[in-house]
Amino acid sequence: MSRRVAARVAIALAVTSSLVGCSSAAARSTPFCSNPSDSVFVLIAQSVPEATQLPCVAELPAGWSYAGSQIVSDQSLLWLDSDRAGIHAVEVALRPSCDVEGAAQEPSAPDEAATTVYVRPESLPPAFSAERFLLFPGGCIRFTFRFANGAPSALAIEAIAAISVLPRTQIVAAVSEDPGLILCGAGAPPCAG
């Protein structure tokens, strides 16, 4: 791990320690799946320490943009904006658990193989809304779709393709390369009280 990456991870760990006892931290960096050593993943991993999978941005289709995140104890939120579906058209939440009552199970995509997927439609166009859940040991990722009036529901397919999952073990491995840093939780030492 380079000194620059190690410094970013050290800063993230310092901020992470404040997540446990305080309110929130806003991550400004886009959590791209291709960059698991990015410090934003340390924050996401520590928000739900037992989660074995983490949400990440695979690739943004044309018309979609990463709108930011909010990372707090027990939850990480990521938002996607769309030039067709609207501002915060998709919210992606990493949580310790999700209520999937009333949702139907569906097959997992190849990048979601370590998860069980459920979908709960809420309303069809003109104002499409739905929830999609990825369940896995230690947590879940909930997609909430709230499209602008007139936006085609097929845009949900693009949003699902934009967000993937990253095994937490990849973040643990990146952090463990620096002997001065420790990431606790699933796949790592237990978190203290």
Place of tokens 């095994």: 167
Residue 96 near residue 90 (C-beta atoms within 8 A): no
Distance between CA 127 and CA 61 in Å, rounded? 21
Residue 7 in domain: yes
Residue 191 in domain: no
Structural domain of residue 141, as residue ranges? 3-176
Type of residue at 106? E
Reported as a single tens digit per residue, the pLDDT across 40-68 is 888 999 999 999 999 999 999 999 999 99
Residue 181 in domain: no
Residue 171 near residue 54 (C-beta atoms within 8 A): yes
Residue 188 in domain: no
When the pLDDT of each residue in the chain is averaged and rounded to a whole number, the result is: 84
Whether 181 shows a pLDDT value over 90: the answer reads no
Residue 184 in domain: no
Residue 169 in domain: yes
Number of domains forming the structure of the chain: 1
Q: What is the pLDDT of residue 193?
A: 61
Distance between CA 139 and CA 137 in Å, rounded? 6
Reported as a single tens digit per residue, the pLDDT across 19-29 is 433 333 444 68
Residue 149 in domain: yes
Reported as a single tens digit per residue, the pLDDT across 100-113 is 999 999 999 889 98
pTM of the model: 0.82
**CATH, residue 69:** 3.40.1000
